[in-house]
């Protein structure tokens, strides 16, 4: 499969979280490097399609900005092909290793501060960060009971449910619209994030209602993420410049009658007032107090 086709495949991925999409990008770059001379303009042109399609996935922008900077350095130094390949592969390996470690540290920090043993936990969508958390818990023989939402409109919650079930957790698979029905059975909710702002965070659609239900029921609502996703600005400032493109309408209603317009988006903003605490690899935030 050509590099362009791989990029189109990544853009059409509406099941994976941002970390999984980034891993697909990295694998695609590796494949490209194995059979081609480095064409800087070609790589940038195709990879920028990903950031345009996913404007709110901070980890993609973080990696690609550093990758584009590296390509520019290689071009300025006019490095031979073999040296350029070595430099790119070293960057990718170090980047991947570093941030996998950081996600693990965030999971460890949360496990130290929050009791998971014998708890019932509400999860939403499909997040690599959540997978890492539960892998970490499993190594300590901690297997919480999970209430996993199906996460419409494409039901990627099924993927996360399988991962957690394979780890040894008992998983209740529910419709996110039924969270109010189950909220008094759970101890707390944990979600990932795509961007962390000074006034809240963005994540998969359906996160905001879960936060509201948790507040109404007096249940903690936690966010687990890493520092690549921290932004020094508020959401209103960010959203005024970049908007999420509308997702395929057919996912909601194929061949809808002419007078009906399906409106489909994948991400939404959840205000900080609903968040009990947000955990990073290097710190944790109680939004109502100063970061610890």
118-120-124 Cα angle (round to 5): 140
Q: What is the pLDDT of residues 49-58, one digit of tens each?
A: 998 888 889 9
Token pair of 193, please? 């994030």
Q: What averages of pLDDT result for each successive group of 10 residues across the chain (292 residues)?
A: 91 89 94 85 94 90 96 93 92 96 97 97 97 97 98 95 98 97 98 95 96 98 97 79 76 95 94 97 77 44
CA 79 remoteness from chain centre = 35
- SS3 category, 170: coil
Hey, what are 66's tokens?
């550093």
Confirm if 231 and 238 have CB atoms less than 8 A apart.
yes
Start-end ranges of CATH 3.40.50.10470 in the chain? 104-285
CA distance between the termini of the chain: 47
Average pLDDT, the chain: 93
| Three-class secondary structure of residue 239 per DSSP | helix
Pairing of strands 284-285, 277-279: antiparallel
Q: What pLDDT, on the 0 to 100 scale, is given for residue 229?
A: 96
- pLDDT score at 285: 86
CATH architecture of 104-285: 3-Layer(aba) Sandwich (3.40)
The radius of gyration of the chain from alpha carbons, rounded to an integer in Å, stands at 20
Task: Give the pLDDT score at 292.
Answer: 43
- The model carries a pTM of 0.93
Instruction: Show Cβ contacts of residue 230 under 8 Å, excluding neighbours closer than 6 positions.
Output: 196, 280
pLDDT (tens digit per residue) in 73-94: 999 999 998 999 999 999 999 9
Torsion angles phi and psi, residue 268, rounded to 5? -155, 165
Non-local (6+) Cβ contacts of 273 within 8 A are 200, 215, 287
* pLDDT value of residue 15: 84
Give whole-number Cα distances, 18 to 24, 57, 62, in Å: 10, 6, 11
Q: What pLDDT is recorded for position 35?
A: 76
Q: Where are the alpha helices (DSSP H) in 54-80?
A: 58-77
């Amino acid at each position: 499969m050509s590099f362009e086709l791989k990029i189109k495949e990544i853009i059409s991925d509406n099941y994976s979280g941002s970390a999984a999409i980034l891993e697909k990008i990295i694998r695609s770059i590796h494949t490209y490097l194995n059979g081609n001379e480095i064409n800087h303009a070609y790589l940038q042109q195709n990879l920028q399609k990903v950031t345009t399609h996913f404007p709110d996935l901070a980890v993609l922008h973080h990696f690609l900005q550093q990758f584009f900077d590296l390509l520019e350095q290689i071009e300025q130094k006019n490095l031979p092909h073999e040296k350029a390949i070595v430099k790119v592969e070293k960057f990718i390996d170090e980047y991947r290793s570093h941030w996998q470690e950081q996600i693990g540290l965030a999971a460890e920090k949360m496990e130290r501060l929050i009791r998971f043993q014998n708890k019932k936990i509400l999860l939403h969508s499909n997040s690599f960060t959540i997978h890492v958390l539960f892998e970490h818990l499993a190594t300590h023989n901690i297997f919480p009971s999970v209430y996993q939402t199906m996460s419409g409109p494409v039901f990627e919650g099924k993927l996360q449910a399988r991962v957690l079930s394979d780890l040894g957790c008992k998983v209740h698979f529910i419709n996110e619209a039924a969270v109010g029905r189950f909220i008094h059975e759970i101890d707390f909710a944990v979600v990932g994030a795509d961007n962390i702002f000074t006034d809240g965070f963005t994540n998969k659609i359906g996160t905001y209602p879960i936060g509201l239900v948790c507040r109404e029921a007096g249940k903690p609502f936690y966010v687990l993420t890493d520092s690549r996703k921290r932004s020094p600005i508020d959401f209103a400032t960010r959203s005024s410049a970049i908007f999420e493109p509308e997702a395929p309408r057919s996912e909601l209603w194929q061949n809808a009658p002419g007078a009906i317009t399906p409106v489909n988006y994948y991400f939404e903003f959840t205000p900080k007032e609903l968040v009990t605490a947000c955990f990073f690899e290097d710190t944790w935030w109680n939004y109502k107090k100063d970061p610890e």
